[in-house]
Amino acid sequence: MAKLLILVLVVVGLMGPGWSAETGREAPWRIHTLFSVECQNYFDWQTVGLMHSFRKARQPGPITRLLSCTEEEKKNYRGMGLAPTVEVPSMSRHPRTGDWYPAINKPAGVVHWLKHSKDADNVDWVVILDADMIIRGPIIPWELGAEKGKPVAAYYGYLIGCDNALAKLHTKHPELCDKVGGLLAMHIDDLRALAPLWLSKTEEVREDRAHWSTNLTGDIYGKGWISEMYGYSFGAAEVGLQHKINDNLMIYPGYIPREGVEPILLHYGLPFSVGNWSFSKLDHHEDDVVYDCDRLFPEPPFPREVHLMESDPNKRRALFLSIECIHTLNEGLLLQHKANGCPKPTGSKYLSFLRSKTFAELTRPKLLTPATIQTEKESIQTVPKQFIAEPGGQYPKIHTIFSTECIKYFDWQTVGLVHSFHLSGQPGNITRLLSCSDEDLKQYTGHDLAPTHYVPSMSKHPLTGD
């Protein structure tokens, strides 16, 4: 679960021209963006996409890549020039335990940066993002509602360990454990307090093999891969951080946004499709597309083709977000190839589109809407007790859930239900509650059939045996 991540820290004087030029105001605090990667092709193309979207979105302030590589890896590494970089010691192989867990480089890199970088003394706020993201508009922590001691965060519902014995084992304040990740916007003082515990709690959860089971962690593989995420949540609980949870700022391509919401982050962590075209980041784990002058990612449909695919405005909007994600990645690759000294590519309809005013207008920086910055508690409080949406009107937040088990009988039903969910235009998201024993999970192959929350199986009652 080694992931590319970003930290956006807010500070006076180092602001780039984008935010002030776009809004006509000077930012009152300084911002710095960080992201953590390793020396792999997989992270290099994500770096190109992230760096390009950072510039395109006019995110204020500088950006720094925290690069965790061994000396041996650096000998053959080609991507040193892809981003402003600070090299940090690799902890992929833990120096004390020998445990192989590359995701620990994220908190370890942040700790190193805080201790050794002069830039860390010139920031006020921090935003942390997963690296497999495209930034669509400026991420301004104070505009998102972040306060000192109260970071803004995206909701990661599968971190079920916050609600069970796992949190009680690893934090003195399980009631403060929040299921968050993906997007984190916090004050620099909070990051300084949190970072050492983020690292130590990650180590602690990795070493707690007795409690790695899916029913406790929500990790479908039961191998402790999401230990770093729990390290963050448990560390944040220890220092008393209380998150404002926002489920609007970030969206997975393929999901339908709520009406009135303008997501400013695209998180391409899951496979998605538009018509007969599809994309999965895992298909490109070893892809050297950054260094191959003649290649981009498979081109998505053009906007006018998407218009013909879908008549429902909100479902069409979801399709546009999906193609925007990969069009932006490809635009970044095209510019990187030019920077690499590649020959000018042969002209094509697709390249003309990426260079067009139409595409530039479609992908101009997005500004926050009132609905986008609404947190979960605010959303719940503002929904009327009785609500009937007018045709084409705005719905309150709706989430559809259904319950199944790890057998083929439910798999084909799941396929039909999820397909009809998307066809029907049902607002909001859908989650499958999957009840399986640990033994069943070892053999189960249908994990990707639907967005899934894993729950302990009670098919055999734990008390009565019924």
Contact 124, 11 (CB under 8 A): yes
Pair 353, 359: CB distance under 8 Å: yes
For the stretch 307-359, pLDDT in tens is: 999 999 999 999 999 999 999 999 999 999 999 999 999 989 999 999 999 99
Q: Is the pLDDT of residue 251 over 50?
A: yes
Q: Give the tens place of pLDDT for each residue, 107-129.
A: 999 999 999 999 999 999 988 88
pLDDT at position 16: 41
Kindly state the tokens that stand for 282: 């895992």
Q: What is the mean pLDDT of the chain?
A: 87
Q: If you ran DSSP here, which 8-state letter would residue 286 be given?
A: T
Q: For residue range 413-461, what is the model confidence (pLDDT) as tens digits? A: 998 898 788 767 687 788 899 888 877 877 888 887 888 888 788 887 7
Residue-wise pLDDT for 67-98, tens only, equals 999 999 999 999 999 999 999 999 999 999 99
pLDDT class for 392, splitting at 50, 70, 90? Answer: very low
Is residue 182 within a helix (H) or strand (E), and if so which, with residue range? strand 180-187
Token pair for 6: 């970003």
Residue 395 has pLDDT above 70, yes or no: no
Q: Higher-confidence residue: 60 or 239?
A: 239
Confidence band (pLDDT; 50, 70, 90) for 7? very low
pLDDT tens profile 181-191 = 989 889 999 99
Q: What's the CA gap between 406 and 436, in Å, rounded?
A: 6
* pLDDT at residue 24 in the model: 52
Q: Each residue of 273-293: pLDDT tens digit?
A: 999 999 999 999 999 999 999
Instruction: Give me 192's structure tokens.
Output: 């300084």
What the chain holds in terms of domains, given with CATH numbers, is 5-245 (3.90.550), 274-362 (no CATH), 387-456 (no CATH)
Query: Residue 398's pLDDT band (boundaries 50, 70, 90)?
Result: confident
CA atoms in the 13 A half-sphere facing the CB of 233? 33
- Residues 355-383: pLDDT tens digits? 999 999 999 999 988 888 887 665 443 33
Q: State the residue for tokens 């454990």.
A: 177
Q: Give the relative orientation of helices 105-116 and 227-238 as an angle to the nearest 10 degrees.
A: 50
Report the pLDDT value the prediction gives residue 6, as an integer from 0 to 100. Answer: 43
pLDDT of residue 101: 96
Average pLDDT value for residue range 375-392 = 44
Least confident interval from 159-163, 268-272, 377-381: 377-381
